[in-house]
Structure 1
Amino acid sequence: MKITHNISALNTSNRLNKSNKSAGTSYEKLSSGLRINRAADDAAGLAISQQMRGQIRGLQQASRNIQDGNSLVQTAEGGLQEITAIIHRQKELIIQGMNGTYSDQDKQNMEQEIKQLNEAIDSIALQTGFNTTNLLARVDYQILEDRSSLNEDVTTTGPFPTTVTNQRVFNGFWPIGTPTQSLSVVSSTTGTNTEMANDHEARLTPIVSPDGRPGFNDYEKNVHTQTDTTATVEHTYERILNNEPRFTELDVKHNTLRNIYFQTELVVNSTRAGQFPDFGGFQDRFAVIEIDGVSHTLDTFTIDSSNVSAGSISVFYSKDGIEIEKTMTTDGTSFTAGFKVRNQSGVDDKQIRFSTVFQPVYDATYDISSTNGVPIGSTAASGDIPDAGTVFELSNDLVDFEFSFLNGGSYAKPSSLTTGSAVLDSNNSGTNVITTTWESADLDDGGLLEFGFSLNNFNFKQELHRTTDEYTRTIHSIVETVTTDIKDIDYVPPKVDIQTGDQSGQLLNIPLFNVKTDGLGIANLSILPPTIPETSLAKTESALTRVTNVRSIYGALQNRLEHTMNSVDNYTENLMAAESRIRDTDMAKEMMELTKMNILNQSAQAMLSHANSNPQAILQLFK
């Protein structure tokens, strides 16, 4: 046993000092949240984390740079949007001014608005800027190559003269006594007709300069074609009397019309009486017969039209035992239509109602009068119906004639009668002038209902003339002038560089353009002479194309900036996570280490107390 050295106490004290130091280190890491508080903690890790922190801060600033760049592009695109709207309005004014319904003063007013709009475009271009940097009126371009050209090509086509004649021959009614006119020249005019045509093409294409800088090719092609046609137009006219008798005589025609509709054959038979070529008068296909309350038109009946002779037509209809014999005759100056309705069904008391209309087609309106006191423009029935033979006078500018019902013998008078005037509609079809109905409520088997009407005493008030209208156009020369104006320039525009990363050379270039009126080629827009409106219209089309191309470039840049910013933000986030894994402390692990050190400290302190009490045992030896 020794008293000069207490080896156990020394050993325990050394262990206690190490535990205290380890606990102190844990306290430092837990209080700062960092695993590396000084270079001694992890020299290599500190160096790596500091590099990462510098990169993270650079990327964070790059993200803000990209947002500023996006704001710049949006500012420029906003100005371009308003300039686009102004050019649309200018185009509208030019097209309006090309309309011949406006006076010179109207066009002067339109011209004034076009000029004011040009000033508005220049004002917007000059005032659109971002942090004192102008965006839309830049003229500091570097021209790389200019291949522009202007060419005028004049051609004359032939051979000349070339003559084209258009002739129209037609028949028309003229008042009696209208003089004839021999074929003669009415007018002859020589003049030059000018036609304009414009074709344009424009595009703005990205290129790379020989030294690697980004640039653009500005291509615009305007082709103006002017065609001057010098010709003489001669108008020749002739009107001679036409003595063709058929144009003033009545005619009776029987037609069978066959129409294929949805693979179903529809046969329409009709007999028409009237004055050639289309007086109309009466068509039996509009006649309607009711048999016991069921309506039928004559073209739904079985028809035997074999008995047709010159000047007259006799047609036999049959349906459900009801037979109709129709006879139509004309002598060229009068017309008669007679109907015989027989009951051959074997059944008594058949209810028969037969309706016809007289509907002249030629000319617009017929005046109707009657010497028998029949009310005109109304419907008469029962006791108000006049006896058969009542005469109606019909008249218009072309013809006078009489309409009367057949009388005598077994002819029945109408059971109802409606009169009115005929006015042509858009289909050249007049309303009914006279509508008549005959009916029998008790037609026995074998019974007969007979009726009819006639048209007489035709008096034509006009004569037929054959008219020849002839226009002869003789072309003396056609001169075509084609002006081709091509702008083809390679250039490097001024630009704004956006730093999009933390390293040198990580740049995104935003080009700046000139969209003033001189840059768009619309500085001299006009609709007044000597300017050609068609040329101004073509210039607005080219300007719209150019502005649209620039807006497309800026739109693509906005999308690119958005994606670039998303990439930078993701990169920053990943770097921060990596730097955290190197520099930050693991709080759970460090708390576990601290707890361990605290327990060791307490144990070491207890052992040190025991070690210090060991030398006292030597005193027992002195007793």
Structure 2
Amino acid sequence: MEVHVCTLTLNVTNSLNIYNNMTQSDARIRSSMERLSSGLKLNRAPDNAAGKAISEMMKAQIRGLETVKRNIKDGLSLLDTAESGMGLIIDPNLARMRELTLQAATGTLTADDRRMIQKELDAIKSSIDDIANNTEFNTKKVLSPPTEFTPGESQSTAIDIVFFIDDSGTMAEEISLVNAGISSFAENLSQYGNVNIGTVSVNMSKPGTYSSLNHDSKQVTSYIETHHQSRGGSINVYDQLVDFAPTGEKAKDLGYRSNSKKIFVILTDTYDEASSRATRDTVTQTLASNNIQSYLFGVDFYGGDPSAENQFQADDAYSFVNQIYKPQTAADVAENISPGLTDAIVKDAELIEKALEPIDLLIGPNAGQLLRVDLYDCRSDAIGLNEIQVEDHASAMKTLEQIDQARELMSRRRTIYGAYTNRLEHALRYSENYHLNLTMSESRIGDADIPKEAMSLSQNQVLLQSAQAMLSQSMKQSEAVLTLLK
């Protein structure tokens, strides 16, 4: 009897082992069928917890890249729209204006002839404004501000900026850097259309060295390079600030506009300062009464390594200014002037509210991967065609100069847009390549290996059937033992 009971126990144990194997085979079959039906290796986190997290992160990146590619294509379309509008302004409109102006400059025409030419010029100006005002992408104006102005209203804030430049002997190391910064500054502010820039030398050995306020950034740059070179002599900043203020005795030499915001920028190392009749209080009162926003660049690398840290220490003498800049190294001088000072003036003078807001294009699947596209006001007044007259030879020559400057400005802007387009096309190719490689990587992690899963399914089906057969045999053995017990 003990032998039979022991045999029965062994049969039960054997049946349990067979049942466990059958259950495992069944689970593997279900897993293989799930993978084969979904095409995914990772259907649940238990399949591979770390792999599932990596796969989900990659999927988010892949979907983000698909959106990014659409963003880039929309950006390219916007640039194409804006650039084509600029092209129409340049040719035929500005080209025809130049042709008419050259015709008006000759002495064979009568006054009536010039009046007819003037009418066509005015009509072309209106055509330029129509192009700028009506060029839109997705209802967003790309060549003119969205704000509507009433006729006769100033279409952008008038800004008059005067640089007071210390071009004395101790500035020999820094003057070229200062000049380069001012040149870049003038070029960057030219896009706002209503900014005039003038310069005044505070070197007493160079009396009369100043340039009248001018919107042409090239003329400003040319004057700086020609006249503001380092030469020995003492400086007098206070008196120059007072004399060249709008209420000063030399104000007429600069040509301030009555409705403009006034900004003074002082660039000095404060060496060789001469006594002045004006006191700090006088300067403070003059700036306040004229509502002048003022900035100071304290530059002091003289007598040592020009790459050394700035040793400027004359803060108290210029406590009346709104902001003091101290470039840490000589290489930082130009950068502090532009974009540093440029950005401050745009913000403080609220130019950004009158100019077109730039567009930030998201060109990557993560935060911060942006390309900023500047938009430009291309209406006739904004590109320097506010007063074009051809009533005589002199006015026709002045108008011709304005037209040439406008053509050059528009050509530079088209060049910038061409660079933007190339940048977006590179970003698109990169996104497509990144999308392909990331999709392949995610596929290796998350997609099922169909041949392998098919083989595993067949194998486990055979094992399941074998286990079922063995379980049946095991149960028959147990039944035989029970028969003996009857």
Structure-1-length-normalised TM-score: 0.44
Query: What's the CA shift for 1:570?
Result: 1.5
Are residue 146 (structure 1) and residue 168 (structure 2) matched? no
Distance in 2 separating the partners of 1:144 and 1:107: 33
1:88 aligns with 2:95: yes
SS at match of 1:136: coil
In the alignment, the residues of structure 1 paired with residue 184 and residue 42 of structure 2 have an alpha-carbon distance, to the nearest angstrom, of 63
Amino acid at match of 2:32: S
Name the SS for the 1:532 alignment partner: helix
Residue 504 of structure 1 is matched in structure 2 by 367
TM-superposed CA distance for 1:46, in Å, is: 1.2
Partner of 2:32: 26
Higher strand residue share: 1
Cα pair 1:222 1:485 within 8 Å, conserved: no
1:61 is aligned to 2:76: no
Aligned positions, number: 304
Deviations along 1:428-451, one digit per CA (max 9) or x if unpaired, are: xxxxxxxxxxxxxxxxxxxxxxxx
Q: Distance in 2 between matches of 1:36 and 1:61?
A: 25
Cα pair distance change 1:509/1:142, threshold 3 Å: farther
Structure 1 residue 619, shift from structure 2 partner: 7.6
Mapping 1:157-556, distance limit 5 Å: 205=187, 219-221=217-219, 490=342, 494-529=357-392, 532-556=395-419
Task: In structure 1, give the amino acid aligned to 2:135.
Answer: T
CA-CA distance at 1:534 after TM superposition: 1.1
The Cα offsets for residues 62-83 of structure 1, whole Å up to 9 and x where unpaired, read as 2211111111111111110010
RMSD value, Cα: 3.6
SS at match of 1:498: strand
Comparing both structures, which one devotes a greater share of its residues to helix?
2
The CA distance in 1 between the partners of 2:220 and 2:69, in whole Å, is 44
> What residue identity is the alignment partner of 2:95?
H
User: Deviation digits for residues 546-591 of structure 1, max 9, x if unmatched?
Assistant: 0001111111101101111111221122221111111111111111
Q: Mapping of 1:578-597 within 5 angstroms? A: 578-597=441-460
CA distance in 2, matches of 1:202, 1:101: 43
Once the 2 structures are TM-superposed, how far is the Cα of residue 117 of structure 1 from its aligned partner? 0.3
Q: Which runs of 5+ in 2 are unaligned?
A: 148-154, 165-182, 190-214, 222-252, 257-337, 347-354
**Aligned equivalents of 2:184, 2:55: Cα separation in 1:** 54
Contact 2:106 2:393 in 1 (8 A): no
Specify the alignment match of 1:10 in structure 2.
16
Report deviation, 1:205: 4.8
Which of structure 1's runs of 4+ aligned residues deviate more than 4 A? 139-145, 201-207, 483-486, 488-493, 616-623
Give yes or no for contact 1:33–1:584 (8 Å, CA) kept in 2. yes
Distance 1:105 1:603, change over 3 A: same
Aligned residue among 106, 109, 112 for 1:105: 112
Q: Secondary structure, in 3 states, of the residue corresponding to 1:608?
A: helix
Secondary structure, in 3 states, of the residue corresponding to 2:40? coil
1:127 aligns with 2:134: yes
The answer as to whether partners of 1:144 and 1:490 remain within 8 angstroms in 2 is no
Match of 1:51 among 51, 57, 73: 57
**8 Å CA contact 2:83, 2:414 repeated in 1:** yes
Give me the whole-angstrom Cα distance separating, in 1, the residues matched to 2:414 and 2:163: 24
Distance 1:23 1:113, change over 3 A: same
Letter of the 1:114 partner, please give it: L
Amino acid at match of 2:412: N
| 8 Å Cα contact 1:52-1:575 kept in structure 2 | yes
Identity %: 35
Question: Which residue is 2:471 aligned to?
Answer: 608
- Quote how far apart the aligned CAs of 1:106 are: 2.3
Distance 1:613 1:202, change over 3 A: closer
Q: Decide whether the 8 Å contact of 1:94 with 1:536 is kept in 2.
A: yes
- The aligned counterpart of 2:122 is 115
One-letter amino acid matched to 1:106: D
**1:146 aligns to what SS in structure 2?**
strand
Shift of 1:544: 0.5
Q: Secondary structure at the match of 1:528?
A: coil
**TM-score, normalising length: structure 2:** 0.56
Shift in CA distance, 204/598, structure 1 to aligned 2, threshold 3 Å = farther
Aligned in 2, Cα 1:144/1:522: closer, same or farther, shift over 3 Å?
closer
SS, match of residue 112 in structure 1: helix
Larger Rg belongs to: 1
Q: Following the alignment from structure 1 to structure 2, what is the Cα–Cα distance between the partners of residues 547 and 521?
A: 11
- The answer to whether the 8 A contact 2:82-2:135 is kept is yes
The superposition leaves residues 321-349 of structure 1 with CA deviations (integer Å, 9 ceiling, x where unpaired) of: xxxxxxxxxxxxxxxxxxxxxxxxxxxxx
| Matching residue's letter, 1:221 | Q
